[in-house]
Amino acid sequence: MTHNYVRRSRWAVFLFCWIAAFSAAAQSSKSKFDLYEQTSEVAGLVIQYAQDYRAVEYFYRPMPTGGRGQQGTTLNSPEQRKRLREVGNDYLAKLAKVDFNAMSIYGKVDYLLLKRNINDDLLTLAQEENEYGQIEKYIPFAAGIYDLEKGRRRGATVDGQAVAAKLNDLQKEVTKAGESFKKLESIDMPLSRMGAEAVAGLEARLKSTFEFYNGYDPLFSWWVPKPYKTLDSTLLAYSKLIRSKGKLNTTQKEDASGIKGIPIGREELIRQLGTEMISYTPDELIELANKEFAWCDKELLKASAEMGFGNDWKKAQEKVKNSYVPAGTQPELILKLYNDAKEFILKNNLIEYPQIADETWGMQMMTPERQLVNPFFLGGRDIIISYPTNTMAHDDKLMSMRGNNPYFSRSTVHHELVPGHHLQYYMNSRYKSYRGDFRTPFWTEGWALYWELLLYDKGFAKTPEERIGMLFWRMHRCARIIFSLNYHLGKWTPQECIDFLVDRVGHERANAEGEVRRSFEGNYSPLYQVAYLIGGLQLFSLKKELVDSGKMTFRQFHDAVMKENNMPIEMVRATLTNQPLKSDFKTQWKFYKIP
């Protein structure tokens, strides 16, 4: 150990003790709005659990080869799952020893969310174990490869001739398993994916073992390369075979959309809502969305009448869609819309624009391929602009331009940048960043959507065209709740979802198809599309409770939400109101009145 390392270690210990002492003192003397401590009594366990979990995941996966990054496989091995379960149970035992009632509100919130995360990880591991048990019969050769890789982790000396013989035997086992598998007509798609991933993972483990010894161990290098290459190619072929046999067995009703997903059902929806700390049933959320939709309808008809179209809101919306800017000028429009929102927000003293956050957001252009799935802007650190390129078909160009017109884009720009997602990225990396593992779309998308609600409420949309543009997105968020929950409840087909977006919201049909496809065939959780409006309404309710009552200013409220970092909004509320919490807390906040 070097002298410099010792000095750094001593300084780290001193700094940690100083922060802990400062935090404890601050708890007893902090002012009403001094909510921004960077730690809590449980913060250490939150960080340690996350890092221990990742360390075990990394170590028991295929090791990096040739100085490159980690091999790409996400499926845990049986040994890996066992160790991850042990880590989870070990931390549950540590939490059980914590004096919950003696902690600050920040410690209690971290305790509850860490316990939730651990239990959710254990449930996921149990589900994976169950599915692995169903595909284990198709990979009887797995244990032999796992054993080889286990010895490689600590550099065990190997007998090259014996390894070559073992690989030769394993190749015959894989070939035999493949011949047997070919006789199957099909296999359930999720099991097919898991089987293919398991074999690909075995191939990656074999590769890391081979590359560790080959060229370094003389006998290994003489005996093993040929049988290794034969086994490697056999494994790759078997993985493709398993994937090719996958058949999507779904309760989804047949339709002409070509979109295939798997509705998860009421019970799983309720479980996931509970995990996200949403105390409403799927049916209640659909009722909430319909109530919000009715409000949007009234506002839309007012704007339509002001534009001279009476109750024919679709004609009014059509005029708005055709206001698109000429090709090549969309980035210039983005900057104007950003500055419009910034000027309004600063004038109304709603939030502070940190200089670096305001300075460092960037622009990217979205590819035509990506626009097929994401027809509108995306964002985060940068805004990713959806607008047609020269390679797109004529009709696709027009739909992209119409769907991203200046009035529709008015909301998406501040949603994606500051005070939306870009500000979130900026603040999350600077305040209580250890809470990153508590992240939820109800906070991520809810915060960005909240600003759409707040700015509309504050009069940011001055003309009827601007109101129609902002209402389009509000109706879109209502529609997302209605169509996604009805789909997962088994009531709607994808085609019915597409038609709903076209008829009730005014989507271009291709854009509606892209929206539904990414909802049910993409990597989104079933509740992701629900999270936008629901999270926004949670924050809007909290704003009424704390700002409208005079307990906090807008700036204090928005700063406090950001500095508590990403977590279920009911827990944000608990920290801001110093809510009494129990260690067996169950979600109960009713943030919206449903008749």
Q: What is the pLDDT of residues 533-543, one digit of tens each?
A: 999 999 999 99
Q: Which residue has the tokens 């809007």?
A: 540
DSSP, res 259:
-
Task: Give the per-residue pLDDT at 36.
Answer: 45
Q: Is the model's pLDDT at 289 over the cut of 90?
A: yes
Task: Give the per-residue pLDDT at 529.
Answer: 94
* CB 451 within 8 Å of CB 419: yes
pLDDT higher at 586 or 22: 586
Q: Is the model's pLDDT at 374 over the cut of 70?
A: no
Of the pLDDT bands very low, low, confident and very high (cuts 50, 70, 90), residue 24 is: very low
Cα gap 547→126, rounded to integer Å: 44
* CB 530 within 8 Å of CB 479: no
pTM of the model as a whole: 0.88
Cβ contacts of 19 within 8 Å, gap of 6 or more: 38, 39
Q: Is the model's pLDDT at 39 over the cut of 90?
A: no
Q: Is the model's pLDDT at 504 over the cut of 80?
A: yes
Give the start-to-end residue ranges of the domains of the chain: 1-30, 40-249, 266-577
The β-bridge partners of 362 are 382
Cα dihedral 410, 517, 519, 425, rounded to 10, equals -50
How do strand 246-247 and strand 382-385 relate by DSSP bridges?
A: unpaired
Of the pLDDT bands very low, low, confident and very high (cuts 50, 70, 90), residue 327 is: confident
Of the pLDDT bands very low, low, confident and very high (cuts 50, 70, 90), residue 368 is: low
| Residue 584 DSSP SS3 | coil
Task: Give the per-residue pLDDT at 593.
Answer: 95
Of the pLDDT bands very low, low, confident and very high (cuts 50, 70, 90), residue 486 is: very high
C-alpha R_g of the chain: 27
Please say whether the dihedral angle defined by the alpha carbons of residues 545, 546, 547 and 550, taken in this order, is positive or negative: positive
Task: Give the per-residue pLDDT at 14.
Answer: 38
pLDDT higher at 137 or 256: 137
Count of C-beta atoms within a 10 Å radius of residue 314: 12
* CB 201 within 8 Å of CB 140: no
How do strand 382-385 and strand 362-365 relate by DSSP bridges?
A: parallel
pLDDT digits (tens, 9 = 90+) for 146-201: 999 999 999 999 999 999 999 999 999 999 999 999 999 999 999 999 999 999 99
DSSP, res 436:
G
* CB 483 within 8 Å of CB 492: yes
Average pLDDT score over the chain? 89
Mean pLDDT computed over 409-430: 91
Residue 485 identity (one-letter amino acid): L
Task: Give the per-residue pLDDT at 265.
Answer: 95
* CB 77 within 8 Å of CB 208: no
DSSP, res 101:
G
Task: Give the per-residue pLDDT at 13.
Answer: 37
* CB 550 within 8 Å of CB 423: no
Q: What are phi and psi of 535, to 5 degrees?
A: -65, -40
Alpha helices, H only, 224-354: 225-244, 266-275, 282-306, 313-321, 330-347
